[in-house]
Structure 1
Amino acid sequence: MTSPSDLSVRDILERLIAFPTVCRTENAELIDWMEAFLRDLGARCHRVPGREAGRFNLFASIGPDTPDGIVLSAHSDVVPVEGQPWTTDPFALTERDGKLYGRGSSDMKGFVACMLVAARYAASKSELRAPLHLAISHDEEIGCVGVHSMLRDLVVRGFQARGCVIGEPTGLRAVSGHKGKLAARIVCHGLAAHSANPARGCNAIGLATDMVKVIELLQEELKETGAHDDHYEVPFSTMQVGLIRGGVALNIVPDLCEVQFEMRLLPGVDPKPLLDRLRLEADRLCAERPHARIEIETLNTYPGLHTPDGSAFLHEIMRITGDNAPSRIGFGTEGGLFSEYLDIPVVVCGPGSIDRAHKADEFILPEELQAGVRFVEQVVDMLERP
């Protein structure tokens, strides 16, 4: 293996992009490569397996074993490329017209590459007062599911830190908050019948459309009377239906229909009252229709992030970025989980743009990558002082 000291941040990104770590697939080879890179620098590495075979989180530390280090965190997985009109190989870093193309270049292997450069920079310093920690998770893109095992492991080990930077692409703006998410499924059961006499059946699609109307009503209530925070582009919590599946043939009254919806909740907003309202309305609808039954199941949830404006760690990061005030973002991150599990301040800040994420021809600019390196090296410099 080429020595870590010989690889530029672009070289590292090229290696990372070449691992097709699509969410819901194995990431072991990427973790192997990163762990070898970090161990060669003298890092203390701890691998935490996920639920599925071949999927791992990696936690590494450089510097003294003290409780006031800083965590740089990123996810290793990327979203799929199938069906997207890429003009380059998504898993081969390609430079064209001053842009570096590749799946994950902005979201968020660009920051992972910066993290490895930060590790090398930290390892070069003779007297760090506090450690640099690197946290790499799996399967973030399907609802922040992989990081839980790593965070539980850190809790068991009594881990403490001064703060955490989640390197999602924010254009290197310091972000102190984002909404939480809950994804859920409504399964409507009816009674099949011939369409020539639909009254003999119970139409599950009809039940589902009534439940969709309930969600739309709750959305309107959240907009009009729910919590508001004008720091967000959408200053209220939201609910929306994204998937409906039901029916087998036009001449059969459908006996099954599934609706999937999500909530995007301002930090501190409890989803339970909203779910209770949905269940109450489901019971009412079923009471009006013989043979009707509705089940509501939560599929995935992660909390929002709210780092107080007065946080000392937030202001330290803002001094590096030059921000006068922290920003808020609409998309979710693992930040709320780091905050909840470890009770540490979390700032989201990384190079690139979320507007390029999840699309064909995702890219990061070379100058953004270099700015990311300068940012993480300044974070490392924070470890030399109280």
Structure 2
Amino acid sequence: MARRCFLGFLVFCFWLGLTSCARSPPPTGLCAASVTPQGYKCQEFEVKTQDGYILSMQRIPKGRAGGGGNKQPVLIQHGVMVDGMTWFLNPPDQSLPFILADAGFDVWIANTRGTRYSRRHTTLDPSKSEFWNWTWDELVTSDLPATFDFVFSQTGQKIHYVGHSMGTLIALASFSEGRLVDKLKSAALLSPIAYLSHMTTALGVVAAKAFVGEITTLMGVAEFNPKGEAVGKFLKVLCATPGIDCYDLLKSLTGKNCCLNVSTVDLFVKNEPQSTSTKNMVHLAQTVREGVVAKYNYGSADFNMMHYGEASPPIYNLSNIPHNLPLFLSYGGQDALSDPRDVGLLLDSLKLHDGDKLTVQFIKDYAHADFIMGVTAKDIVYTAIVAFFNRQ
């Protein structure tokens, strides 16, 4: 029972960051910690966003076998409450960045603002609330454009994109507004998050209801730190809710993951989860509660009018995604966060997409974590991504 509880708490940390169970991460950079020890060349970069955040990026320019020429760049974007390290928890032959590098791609790893390697700003201090005044809207308008522009400036080529979970949400929102598409070659979206109204986990639903606009004041923190005392207390409150099973969070939150290795989860606890803003968690909860993909709701018509010039937050119209943009979507039948019914709503938004530009993969036994930590992901998902990229 103790082991099961421990694993459950780790996965809950991984996806929603509602506990303080993780240990301190290593102080070394991502290249030194996870890439060069495996025999791959790795470069560290800093990228500044238009609103002053300084983001860490890593580049694996080639596989272990080397090779020259202009390799096609691939940008890999993680989800919420984790960072680029999450792509390196499995051995090299099971880790997507290494697989792509060995397949001949020029691989770039993103780390969003607030995570361990991206806690800098030109003027703001991460110990102050102003540093954390953002949601995934700012990832759409600032972080993704900055990373795309940087990769494009370094390579001079259009970019393949891989996103998981929230990394798919910000990509879809960006594409719907015509952002990035001039520098984008194709996109692979794993466990796609857009509509969330069918999320099936009781714990997730309770958490979404708890993340109301006043939570920043109630908790007294703008940084949603999964290692902090305030978040730990918040989790205890959620777990006291009738009907919530905090002893099997692995299954009850993400769905029944089929293919996780215990040693991979042990590596996770040494490195993840990471901070995000409390405001971002509120925005994600709004997406669950309101059943639409929209900009942040400031809680009143007057405040929304101040920010948007209209009483309600503008909607990201996903049907506006260019119909000729090559997309690969992979989702699981056991995923309790990216529920198949919500993926169905996303696919309905893409119903006018050019038939030869949309590839959809459904994996009956997969849940949310399998796409990034599953020991079988190489053969089932990653091989299909490489083939998809090679066709473009």
Question: TM-score, structure 2 length as denominator?
Answer: 0.36
Q: Which has the higher helix share?
A: 2
Question: TM-score, structure 1 length as denominator?
Answer: 0.37
Higher alpha-carbon Rg = 1
